[in-house]
Structure 1
């Protein structure tokens, strides 16, 4: 029986198996879809689909820099044990390298690693390692000089927090210092003009209500709001923040003193924003052992 692309696609979607594995399963079973599914199960290649609903909030951020381009890629797993797995780490490293040649995470999923799309490489890893994994996001920075930093490194170029800093001028040393600052403070934007207008308006409303509660004259209240908003901008923008290495100057001034201008940055932390399922550890053990 002729094996069509549509049949392979259907089997992949049903089982989560890789393309070549799905094609081989159909070929071995003369196109019988149910038999092909069973064949994949016996080979341990049909695990991915069953695991796709499980929360993957651990994992690693991989960073890579080349020719004025830097990328930070978050690849999630269910447990921190997998993040320490050398096979998983090698996959993250290769995905980060592939990300240098694309512009967004959707394009990255279709990028090739050893002749396979990244999405298929991930599906194959799920089947082999036995945990749900996701390619969640990527950030890219382009500048004359891009410096990367990894916090809580698990291996070279990957860890729990990945930071990229793009500079015009300066050197690796000041870039790394600023990247470490970004890892510690998680600024919302580079400068005031880059801030989300909704965030600015929300903060202004809160500060306005606080100022009005003081009962002071309107002219005084306006000055209070202006001063507090300026303080807010200093606290949440990278350029305006006090430099952690030397709080007597702002980050922007520290860069300038080193002959550099910050043109962009990115900070990616593993599991940021993912709703993690909390469960009592004793109850989890009991469940595993067949208890209540």
Structure 2
């Protein structure tokens, strides 16, 4: 049924009668349309992480075509990110996170910096750290075949940024620009280290100041301000659970006591003995040296890596 509406102009004495659609139909249709648009907007916002304003603008620009809107948002963020990256380049990045990715017989440590601790705790920033860790791991996987000894690689900033991500094929430099455009702070991918060991060796890993995992997308990685891993092997038969627990405690010691080298149990006491891992009093039992702890447990430590977010790296130092 249509409703007849009469409009009369008092000034000109003209009357017009026209038909309109039922008011109930108009109300229901409009409500469904608004609900659908809102649902699409929320979906786009959740998937891309960009602001509601930009997501709304993208959907309006492409008549609610989700794929075109998403592609345009990434394109704009990429363009604006590079622009912001160049403008913010001189600003100091003393905050950030260490990311640890431990997968079976291989592990990666990465450091990504930003300007404030507030941004360091942002999910988008942690996703960038995770992308850097995964890209490093995937790049190094080819070196893991038929290992008879451990393999360790270190990467400086420019090397890490050239790595491509499996997410969309972009380089980490591109992903960095996107994050800068999205979060509005200067950021820097500083370094990465990767290690792989034979199947009967072990990697002990530890992160201090660990952030809670509050998003399912971040479960692959552990984040904190300090991180380290230690490479070790058993000299005699030990339970794997015992060895795994020992590896975590060794990692905790390395993060806390900051050794510079492994050293040897035969090293004579001297001024530099406190910087050698085996000569240091064990963090969790100061009455025992690390070397004595390892002998008691029938374990040999081969190498380790320690990262501290924002630490000063001496020229020529292995990062």
Normalising by structure 2, what TM-score? 0.58
1:150 and 2:207 are equivalent in the alignment: yes
**How far apart are the structure 2 equivalents of 1:269 and 1:89?**
16
- Indicate conservation of the 8 Å contact 2:160/2:189, yes or no: no
Assess, with a 3 A threshold, how the Cα gap between structure 1 residues 125 and 189 changes in structure 2: closer, same or farther. Answer: same
Q: Secondary structure of 2:245's match?
A: helix
1:250 to 289, 293, 296: 289
Aligned-pair distance for 1:233? 3.5
Aligned to 2:260: 188
Assess, with a 3 A threshold, how the Cα gap between structure 1 residues 134 and 258 changes in structure 2: closer, same or farther. Answer: same
After superposition, the CA RMSD in angstroms is 2.6
Aligned to 2:35: none
Aligned to 1:20: none
Aligned-pair distance for 1:61? 0.3
Normalising by structure 1, what TM-score? 0.63
- Indicate conservation of the 8 Å contact 1:78/1:131, yes or no: yes
Higher fraction of helix: 1
Aligned-pair distance for 1:148? 1.2
Q: Secondary structure of 2:211's match?
A: strand
- Indicate conservation of the 8 Å contact 2:204/2:247, yes or no: yes
1:236 and 2:301 are equivalent in the alignment: no
1:111 and 2:160 are equivalent in the alignment: no
**How far apart are the structure 2 equivalents of 1:128 and 1:166?**
38
**Moved runs in structure 1, 4+ residues, more than 3 A?**
101-104
Residues 149-188 of structure 1 mapped to structure 2, 5 A cutoff: 149-156=206-213, 157-169=222-234, 171-188=243-260
- Indicate conservation of the 8 Å contact 1:55/1:78, yes or no: yes
Can you list the C-alpha shifts for 1:12-37, whole angstroms capped at 9, x where unaligned?
A: xxxxxxxxxxxxxxxxxxxxxxxxxx
Aligned-pair distance for 1:271? 0.5
Number of matched pairs: 202
**How far apart are the structure 1 equivalents of 2:123 and 2:76?**
25
Comparing both chains, which one has the higher relative contact order based on Cα–Cα distances under 8 Å and sequence gaps of 6 or more? 1
**How far apart are the structure 2 equivalents of 1:238 and 1:186?**
8
Aligned-pair distance for 1:172? 1.2
Q: Secondary structure of 1:187's match?
A: coil
Q: Secondary structure of 1:75's match?
A: strand
2:113 to 44, 59, 76: 76
Gaps of 5+ in 2: 1-74, 141-152, 214-221, 314-319
**How far apart are the structure 2 equivalents of 1:233 and 1:192?**
12
Q: Secondary structure of 1:134's match?
A: strand
